[in-house]
Chain A
Amino acid sequence: GSIALALPSLASAGNKLAGVVSSNYKVPDPSTPYKYVTRYNNYYEFSTDKEEPAEAAQTLKTRPWTVSIEGLCAKPQTIGIEDLLKFAPLEERIYRMRCVEGWSMVIPWVGFPLATLLKRVEPLGSAKFVEFTTLADRKQMPGIGSRVLDWPYVEGLRLDEAMHPLTLMAVGLYGEELPNQNGAPIRLVVPWKYGFKGGKSIVRIRLLDKMPGTAWNKAASHEYGFYSNVNPEVDHPRWSQATERRIGEFGKRKTLMFNGYDEVAPLYAGMDLKKNF
């Protein structure tokens, strides 16, 4: 579109995704402008600066690309990105995104529920957790040389969280293919959790019976728990999580429990969310 023309360095984005259908999962908040969504990214494999991945991630090659789904399932398989783009109807979903750093956005994602993908491999009864491994290729990703995190970046969900209808595998935003800096060609989006739970450029999904170790939890376990649900009551040890700055807004707004997605509360019935942060 015109935006891609105005920003020639984002040439790989801008391909319109065909056959995107609307969905009921749309928050009424106005969407964060495209230029902010695509130029303010935490993608440590490219840089720990938030403005740099927009340029630095242009080295990422997103074709060919496969995602291998393995572990405790009846039909493990490796699926090419072309098939992933086709096998389920692509939906537009407008989600709030709350970063653990205290800022937030509203993003019109395009994707399909993770549950659709997991059902295809038929998880076994023993599967309790899902682990997401993202690409860690030194040749394409300059940040892999630094020891900021333990690469590859790994994230995880409990199986019931992964199967929740809100949990999305995103392949696009604003109706177009995902720009590299936003996690092309396929990433996870879990809107009631802090943004870092949504692994970018995913290459492997594994069903496990044990809780997987996750990148930020391994880096600082007292600061980043496995669950990392958005929770204004549980502060980060070094800053408050009670409020957030919505990108593009001047003032701050109150952070909502589960980022406003109250329908996920039953997943945590009876759990002490201060302990399981």
Chain B
Amino acid sequence: MPPPFIAWLRSPSPQQIGRVKALLFVVCLIPVSLLAWRFWHDDLGANPIEYITRATGEWTLRFLLITLTVTPFRRFTNLNWVLRLRRMLGLYAFFYCCLHLTTYLWLDQFFDWRSIFADIMKRPFITIGFAAFVGMLPLAITSTNAMIKRLGGKRWLWLHRLVYPVAVAGVIHFWWLVKRDIREPLLYAVILGLLLGARRVRTRQTA
């Protein structure tokens, strides 16, 4: 008999999965809560709006990468139930992306639509960032059980492969934004490369 914790980890009961989900829901709110708390206490440095933009953008990327980790993690550990956390993680990526976009539209551009439109058309890093947001929209909209049923599993899976170009676009968005020091975007690019690479390994094995 394995120790109880291992047994629990291998096949948690529906209630236990429910509790894990509730805990994860709260944990994923920590970054935005910290931001709000620091904003309230005037602790975001000299340029708070830049700080918020940067933080929400980086959390979008992090949640995208965490979401993309679920599938390889399940494969290597055989813990199939972790798949049931993926939707929430993906929706959190979308949530932070919405905060990021709102910061840009509101606090950076003050809803000056002409300037925003010009920005999207003229500046490649904004173009690709906006494209990534647009790519996330159908994924968020079709994330409900009802939508999965309506689309049918195969078509739904096919549509949700859109997450790969979205993640690539997100990393490029960050890369094109930095002035000179590319070490951070490079780190995201390497992790994304590993996560996508892990999928290729699997495809070859099963082929």
Contacts and interface: CB of A to CB of B under 8 A. Distances in A.
B115 A238 contact: no
Interface string A127-166: 0000000000000000000101100000000000000000
B181 A48 contact: yes
A245 B46 contact: no
B180 A148 contact: yes
A87 interface: no
A219 B180 contact: yes
B124 A238 contact: yes
A36 interface: yes
Given A238-B124, A240-B115, A40 B181 contact: no
Contacts of A245: 47, 49-50
Contacts of B115: 240, 242
Contact of A238 (B46, B47, B108, B176): B176
A271 interface: no
Chain A at the B interface: mostly helix, strand, loop or mixed? loop
19 contacts: A35-B46, A36-B46, A50-B47, A51-B45, A101-B179, A103-B50, A146-B181, A146-B183, A148-B180, A219-B180, A220-B180, A238-B124, A238-B176, A240-B115, A245-B47, A245-B50, A250-B107, A251-B110, A252-B110
Contacts of B176: 238
A29 to B, nearest CB: 16
Contact of B119 (A39, A148, A240, A248): A240
Given A219-B180, A252-B110, A39 B124 contact: no
A121 interface: no
Interface residues of B, number: 21
B55 to A, nearest CB: 13
Interface of B: 45-47, 49-50, 107-108, 110, 115, 118-119, 122-125, 176-177, 179-181, 183
Chain B at the A interface: mostly helix, strand, loop or mixed? helix
A268 interface: no
Among B45, B46, B50, the most chain A Cβ lie within 10 Å of the Cβ of: B46
Contacts of B118: 240
Nearest to A143: B181
A163 B46 CA distance: 33
Nearest to A247: B46
Contacts of A238: 123-125, 176-177
Contact of B47 (A40, A219, A220): A40
Contacts of B124: 238
Contacts of A36: 46
A149 B180 CA distance: 8
Given A238-B124, A238-B177, A252-B110, A247 B119 contact: no
A51 B46 CA distance: 9
Contacts of A48: 180-181
Contacts of A51: 45
Contacts of B110: 251-252
Contacts of B45: 39-40, 50-51
A40 B49 CA distance: 14
A255 B118 CA distance: 18
A238 B122 CA distance: 8
Contacts of A50: 45-47
A268 B46 CA distance: 34
